[in-house]
């Protein structure tokens, strides 16, 4: 059982505290994704787990063992880096077997494990090539293969798909998901791409300024965000947040909590109607046609801009007067501290 | 005129211009080789590039006049030793300065670079007293120690540091994840990847040691311990006047290793000068 347990983990760089007390429990075989904006500490947290950075305070347990002072190579973890970090002077075969060689695994065993990993990732024809002779996707597969051969208890992925083009990213995402299903190993994955987070994760950890903002399944975070930050971070396009004074009409029929100061509604939960019989009215400022849907930027009478996803029929022209409607069940209320109520 | 003819004309003009520009550089070299085959009288006679009488015996006399073979070997082994030691120490020091975070690393590098500002001629007298106190006068030790730990070593360290600074840090992280120690990362990852920088440092260091004149002149007094630059200035007659034909023959022989290195590593030499900002 390889459970990963973080107890009040802190990290300082000089006088700056970048990780400010993180408590987290990751179950055996779970796929956990760390998301958050740039500088929130997600990559640092991953590097603390990997052993590449020293933990300033707190306890890190991997597989029931306290590993704060255990070197990276002896933690039973393997990491896939954003830039793949393949050794350019070694062939694919040598890259994959390098860690085993350092650990003095016999050559025959090394060859067997490299072949197995290469077969899993369909890398056999590439084994004698150098990294410079590979495409981005192939390099990514080699980087994953290098992690697999060590047979780690935990896989760590640091934004592994961010250097790939959009099409390849979708393909590799499904390969990583398939790999997780096949290996059933604990995986921790860092990304700033919330589509990756939503599609891959069993559990998403949203980080903000070195602290955990919310932990939960993708559906939990989407349906029940605990703060405005999470509400706006998860979901694309982001949730509209309206001050309740302006948002009041949209919430007709919904019971508004006494402490609520703002209301959130996702663009996909708003629909267009006649201005005369709608609860919110505004003018279309911009219509972005994306093929499947049109994203409307509606300037409300109150001055706010509201995003609306329109996917039924032709979209109104820029400048058209529109009315907006929402189902009461899709409204999210927040107090003045930005917490859900 | 068609575009193709313009292109050909352009190429011809360009080639002629380059050939003309090459003359001032190539001519002294050809003159040196030619002079090596002439007699002293012919050298001072009507100048001709092709010798009227080919004196191959000049090249034999070079070896009989003084222990030239021994001196040749001295230069070779000293330059090789200095190169190997400089590569080892500069790559280690450069790696430490580029990659290990320690208090005063920037200041240390600044001091090292500042030391480069002091002309070698200024330090030669204190160095002489130091070497004499160590009992190493008329040995090859100062010719190894001074370049390795002196300005040439600093230049090499600086070059290696700049190269290591540009190496992706994630590769080192990957090495650590694979179980390498800091030394292992240097040996197995940083060093194999820094081949262009190592080649540059090797070439610059070898050339510097090969051409070293002032230090051998100060520290060496025995003929059989002389290095080539010193030996070349020693082909004189009994009145102390230079035997030009022997000097030119010996010089022709002295450039052979440099020519060989140049032919083998032409690309690296040009890159090394570009990398170091050193003039060729």
Distance from C-alpha of A275 to C-alpha of A287, rounded to nearest angstrom: 18
My answer on whether B74 and B157 are in the same domain is yes
Q: Is A248 on the interface with B (CB under 8 A)?
A: no
Distance from C-alpha of A122 to C-alpha of B155, rounded to nearest angstrom: 47
My answer on whether B147 and B170 are in the same domain is yes
Residue B119: inside a domain: yes
Which residues of chain A are in CATH 2.40.50.140 domains? Answer: 237-334
My answer on whether B98 and B185 are in the same domain is yes
Which one-letter DSSP state was computed for residue A317? P
Distance from C-alpha of A139 to C-alpha of A124, rounded to nearest angstrom: 13
What pLDDT is stored for residue B203 in this prediction? 86
What pLDDT is stored for residue A4 in this prediction? 95
Q: Which pTM value belongs to this model? A: 0.80
In chain A, residues with a C-beta closer than 8 Å to the C-beta of B176 are: 51-52, 71-73
CA B136 to centroid of chain Cα atoms: 24
CB contact under 8 A, B176 and A85: no
Residues in chain A, pLDDT under 50: none
B60 min Cα distance to partner chain A (Å): 47
CATH number (3.30.70.1140, 3.50.50.60, 3.40.50.300, 3.60.10.10) of A4-228 reads: 3.40.50.300
My answer on whether B23 and B84 are in the same domain is no
Distance from C-alpha of A34 to C-alpha of A187, rounded to nearest angstrom: 11
My answer on whether B27 and B123 are in the same domain is no
A228 min Cα distance to partner chain B (Å): 35
Residue B4: inside a domain: no
**Is pLDDT of B278 > 60?**
no
The set of residues, in sequence order, having a beta carbon less than 8 Å from that of A327 and lying 6+ positions away, is A269
What pLDDT is stored for residue A28 in this prediction? 94
Task: Considering only residues A112 and B2, tell me which one the structure prediction assigns the higher pLDDT.
Answer: A112
| Strand-strand pairing, A154-158 and A186-190 | parallel
Segment 261-320 of chain A within 8 Å of chain B by CB: none
Give the residue from B31, B55, B79 where a domain finishes.
B55
CB contact under 8 A, B174 and A102: no
My answer on whether B123 and B147 are in the same domain is yes
- With contact defined as beta carbons under 8 Å apart, do A63 and A5 qualify? no
CB contact under 8 A, B192 and A89: yes
Q: Give the nearest chain A residue to B174 (CA atoms).
A: A85
Element (H, E) at B146: helix B141-149
Residue B211: inside a domain: yes
Rg (CA), chain B: 24
* Least confident interval from A89-103, A191-205, B108-122, B258-272: B258-272
Domain count, chain B: 2
Mean pLDDT of chain B: 89
* Residue B279 pLDDT level (bands cut at 50, 70, 90): very low
CA A161 to centroid of chain Cα atoms: 11
A-B contacts at Cβ under 8 angstroms? 52
- With contact defined as beta carbons under 8 Å apart, do B152 and B91 qualify? no
Distance from C-alpha of A53 to C-alpha of B169, rounded to nearest angstrom: 13
In chain B, residues with a C-beta closer than 8 Å to the C-beta of A82 are: 170
Residues B196-250 pLDDT 10s: 889 889 988 999 999 999 999 999 999 999 999 999 988 988 888 888 999 999 9
Residue B11: inside a domain: no
CB contact under 8 A, B178 and A88: no
Which one-letter DSSP state was computed for residue A259? T
Of A71, A72, A87, the CB nearest to B171: A87
- With contact defined as beta carbons under 8 Å apart, do B210 and B152 qualify? no
Residues B48-73 pLDDT 10s: 889 998 999 999 999 999 999 999 99
Task: Report in angstroms the alpha-carbon separations of B186 from A86, B20, B153, B190.
Answer: 16, 47, 19, 5
- With contact defined as beta carbons under 8 Å apart, do B161 and B54 qualify? no
- With contact defined as beta carbons under 8 Å apart, do A281 and A275 qualify? yes
* Residue B277 pLDDT level (bands cut at 50, 70, 90): very low
**Count of Cβ atoms closer than 10 Å to residue A81 Cβ:** 23
Distance from C-alpha of A129 to C-alpha of A114, rounded to nearest angstrom: 14
Is ipTM over 0.90?
no
Domain hosting residue B25, numbered range: 18-55
CB contact under 8 A, A87 and B189: yes
In chain A, residues with a C-beta closer than 8 Å to the C-beta of B177 are: 50-52, 72-73, 77-79, 99
Residues A119-132 pLDDT 10s: 988 899 999 999 99
Q: What is the mean pLDDT of residues B9-30?
A: 94
My answer on whether B151 and B249 are in the same domain is yes
Residue B13: inside a domain: no
My answer on whether B46 and B128 are in the same domain is no
Buried b / exposed e along B53-69 (16+ C-beta atoms within 10 A): eebeebbebbbeebbbe
My answer on whether B25 and B72 are in the same domain is no
What pLDDT is stored for residue B275 in this prediction? 56
| In this structure, CATH architecture of domain A237-334 | Beta Barrel (2.40)
Residues A191-230 pLDDT 10s: 988 889 999 999 999 999 999 999 999 999 999 999 999 9
**Is pLDDT of B1 > 70?**
no
Q: What is the mean pLDDT of residues B146-156?
A: 91
B100 min Cα distance to partner chain A (Å): 14
Element (H, E) at B99: helix B68-99
My answer on whether B31 and B141 are in the same domain is no
**Tokens matching residue A307:** 């995003």
My answer on whether B154 and B217 are in the same domain is yes
Residues B157-171 pLDDT 10s: 999 999 999 889 999
Strand order through the sheet with A211-216: A77-80, A154-158, A186-190, A31-35, A203-208, A211-216
CATH of the domain at B252: 1.10.3720.10
- Nearest residue to A51 via CA among A1, A9, A93, A111: A9
What pLDDT is stored for residue B212 in this prediction? 92
| Burial (CB count <10 Å: 0-12, 13-18, 19+), residue B280 | exposed
Distance from C-alpha of B58 to C-alpha of B131, rounded to nearest angstrom: 37
My answer on whether B36 and B108 are in the same domain is no
**Count of Cβ atoms closer than 10 Å to residue B111 Cβ:** 11
**Count of Cβ atoms closer than 10 Å to residue A184 Cβ:** 11
Which one-letter DSSP state was computed for residue B52? S
Which residues of chain A are in CATH 3.40.50.300 domains? Answer: 4-228
The set of residues, in sequence order, having a beta carbon less than 8 Å from that of A282 and lying 6+ positions away, is A298, A299, A300, A301, A306, A321, A322, A324
Q: What is the mean pLDDT of residues B87-95?
A: 95
């Amino acid at each position: 059982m390889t459970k990963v347990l973080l107890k009040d983990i802190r990290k300082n760089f000089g006088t700056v505290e970048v990780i400010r007390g993180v408590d987290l429990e990751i179950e055996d075989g779970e796929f956990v994704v760390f998301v958050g904006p740039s500088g929130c500490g997600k990559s640092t947290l991953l590097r603390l787990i990997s052993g590449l950075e020293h933990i300033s305070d707190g306890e890190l347990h991997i597989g029931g063992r306290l590993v704060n002072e255990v070197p990276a190579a002896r933690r039973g973890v393997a990491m896939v880096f954003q830039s793949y970090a393949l050794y350019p002077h070694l062939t694919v075969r040598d890259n994959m077997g390098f860690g085993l060689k350092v650990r003095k695994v016999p050559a025959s065993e090394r060859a067997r494990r490299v072949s197995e990993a290469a077969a899993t990732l369909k890398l056999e024809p590439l084994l004698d090539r150098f990294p410079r002779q590979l495409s981005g996707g192939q390099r990514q597969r080699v980087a994953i293969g290098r992690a697999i051969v060590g047979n780690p208890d935990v896989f760590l992925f640091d934004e592994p798909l961010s250097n790939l083009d959009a099409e390849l990213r979708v393909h590799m995402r499904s390969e990583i998901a398939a790999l997780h299903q096949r290996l059933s190993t604990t995986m921790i994955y860092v990304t700033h791409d919330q589509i990756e987070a939503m599609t891959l994760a069993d559990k998403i950890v949203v980080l903000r300024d070195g602290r955990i903002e919310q932990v939960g399944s993708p559906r939990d975070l989407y349906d029940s965000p605990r703060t405005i930050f999470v509400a706006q971070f998860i979901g694309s396009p982001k949730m509209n947040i309206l001050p309740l004074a302006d948002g009041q009409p949209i919430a007709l029929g919904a019971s508004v909590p006494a402490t609520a100061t703002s209301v959130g509604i996702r663009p996909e939960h708003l629909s267009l109607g006649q201005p005369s019989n709608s609860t919110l009215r505004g003018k279309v400022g911009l219509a972005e046609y994306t093929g499947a849907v049109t994203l409307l930027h509606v300037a409300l009478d109150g001055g706010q801009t509201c995003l609306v996803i329109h996917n039924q029929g032709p979209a109104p022209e820029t400048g058209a007067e529109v009315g907006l409607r929402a189902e009461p069940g899709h409204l999210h209320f927040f107090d003045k501290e930005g917490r859900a109520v | 005129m068609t575009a193709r003819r313009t292109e050909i004309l352009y190429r011809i003009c360009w080639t002629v211009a380059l050939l003309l520009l090459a003359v001032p550089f190539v001519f002294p070299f050809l003159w040196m080789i030619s002079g090596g085959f002439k007699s002293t009288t012919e050298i001072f006679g009507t100048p001709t590039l092709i010798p009227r009488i080919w004196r191959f015996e000049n090249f034999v006399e070079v070896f009989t006049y003084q222990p030239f073979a021994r001196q040749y070997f001295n230069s070779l082994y000293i330059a090789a030793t200095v190169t190997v030691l400089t590569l080892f120490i500069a790559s280690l020091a450069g790696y430490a300065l580029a990659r290990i975070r320690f208090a005063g690393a920037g200041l240390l590098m600044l001091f090292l670079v500042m030391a480069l500002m002091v002309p070698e001629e200024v330090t030669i007298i204190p160095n002489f007293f130091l070497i004499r106190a160590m009992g190493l006068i008329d040995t090859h030790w100062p010719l190894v120690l001074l370049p390795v730990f002196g300005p040439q070593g600093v230049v090499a360290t600086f070059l290696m540091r700049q190269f290591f600074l540009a190496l992706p840090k994630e590769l080192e992280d990957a090495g650590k994840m694979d179980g390498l120690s800091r030394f292992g990362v240097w040996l197995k990852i940083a060093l194999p990847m820094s081949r262009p920088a190592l080649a540059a440092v090797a070439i610059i260091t070898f050339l510097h040691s090969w051409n070293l004149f002032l230090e051998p002149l100060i520290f060496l007094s025995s003929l059989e311990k002389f290095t080539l630059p010193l030996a070349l200035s020693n082909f004189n007659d009994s009145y102390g006047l230079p035997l030009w034909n022997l000097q030119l023959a010996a010089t022709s022989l002295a450039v052979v290793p440099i020519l060989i290195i140049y032919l083998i590593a032409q690309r690296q030499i040009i890159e090394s000068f570009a990398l170091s900002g050193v003039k060729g």
